[in-house]
Amino acid sequence: MINLSAAHRELFKRTPDESFTSFDALYQHCERQRQESTDLWRRPDEFTLTHDLTVIANDDGSETSLVDWSFSQLCRMACVSKETINRLSRKTASKALMETLPSTGGKPLQFLKTGDFVRSVHGVVYTRLWNADLLDVVQEFASDFSPPQTAANGTSTGLYCGEQDMFAFLIDPTGWTEINGEAFAPGFFVWNSEVGRRSLGIQTFWFQRICQNHIVWDATEVVEFSRKHTANVRDGLDTIRVILERLASRRDERRSSFVDVMQKAMTTRVGNDADEVIKVLSAERIPRGAVNDALEIARRQGGFTIFALVDALTQVSQKVVNVGDRTELDARIGQLLSLALAA
């Protein structure tokens, strides 16, 4: 098992205005950006950088402002250091960029315009995928997944969209099931950038715990896929659709199996009397002191079924002071449910 820190890193690099309180709020924001955005294709001789470093590329001759990301892209295209350009006056900087932008052989550049801003500049090999397109797939195949608890800072929710990219962290808090005798629930990350900041991608997993810093602890069955924004990037949505569908199907299968196990655990007796129960639990390496305390609790709850004893032992384990001893005992208690499979 491994710990996953992607959501943890996102938490500490996002500003409050990039965080969304619900999936619906994130989706509405991304859909609004899609509706308000336009791709402008212009050859280098069809647009102008003004002395104020605005872009004239619209048919009506109006000016559009660069954002930090699109300005950085132009600097990279011109092979000029952004730091160097920033030390020049705006008039000199605009002239330097226009004179150093390479010839594209008649091929146009792709400007992404949203409102009064140019959000990105790309060549012809870049293919845009809207954040809303990815969220459409999530909504279709994982609509019952939700964000984790709000982080310790009180604002970060795991759902983010900023100037450069989008990231969503979703889990199914009702999807707990048993894997090799331990409890896990399903979750996933998805990410995308409409402006070329990062690839399209997904990572699915089964986890045991998520802390308030959004670190996913003890993850297993981790599956990751990513696709660059080239001509076939939309094919990546089909792969993500399959991955999400597989995760949801596996959850449903395991949930059904878990229900069967729990039903057996509620009716299957570990032994007919205390001596038989002690013998079985000792064979499972449950400490004798914990067994004796659990027997009294189980008697009050109605008998020595597997479920009653697991519940009683869990109550006993919470009183163990040493964290290492408590963790080891909890692991052994969880494995007792396997007795129901053999019944």
**Tens of each residue's pLDDT in the chain, 343 residues:** 799 999 999 999 999 999 999 999 999 999 999 999 999 998 877 888 888 888 877 667 778 888 999 999 989 988 999 999 889 988 898 888 888 888 767 788 899 999 889 999 998 899 999 999 999 999 999 989 999 998 888 888 999 999 999 999 999 988 887 676 677 899 999 999 999 999 999 999 999 889 989 999 989 999 999 999 998 999 999 999 999 999 999 888 877 766 666 777 777 888 888 888 888 888 888 888 888 888 888 887 767 888 888 888 888 887 877 767 777 787 788 777 677 656 5
Is 263 inside a domain boundary?
no
- 47 and 138 fall within a common domain: no
What is the predicted pLDDT for the residue at 61? 72
134: how many CB neighbours lie within 10 A of its CB?
A: 23
Query: Which of 197, 228, 257 delimits the end of a domain?
Result: 257
Judge if 207 and 110 occupy the same domain.
no
DSSP labels, 41-106:
EE-GGG-EE-TTSEEE-STT--EEEE-HHHHHHHHHHTT--HHHHHTS-HHHHHHHHHHHSPP-TT
Q: Is residue 239 part of a domain?
A: yes
Same domain, 156 and 305: no
Q: Do 173 and 299 reside in the same domain of the chain?
A: no
Q: Extract the tokens encoding 251.
A: 């959850």
Looking at residue 100, what is its pLDDT?
Answer: 86
- Total number of domains in the chain: 3
Average model confidence (pLDDT) across the chain: 87
Helices and strands (DSSP H and E) totals, the chain: 12, 14
Please say which residue of 93, 122, 151 terminates a domain: 122
State which of 224, 257, 290 marks the end of a domain. Answer: 257
Q: 143 with 251, same domain?
A: yes
What SS3 class is residue 126? coil
Identify the pLDDT of residue 163.
Answer: 92
Report yes or no: 320 and 329 within 8 Å, Cβ to Cβ: yes
Tell me the C-alpha distance between 134 and 96, whole Å.
Answer: 38
**Rounded Cα distance, 343 and 341, in Å:** 5
Residues 90 and 185 in one domain: no
229 with 134, same domain: the answer is yes
Q: What is the pLDDT of residues 158-173, one digit of tens each?
A: 999 999 999 999 999 8
Does residue 139 share a domain with residue 240? Answer: yes
What is the domain extent for residue 103?
A: 36-122
Query: Has residue 262 been placed in a domain?
Result: no
* Same-domain status, 316 and 239: no
Q: Are 37 and 27 spatial neighbours (Cβ–Cβ below 8 Å)? A: no
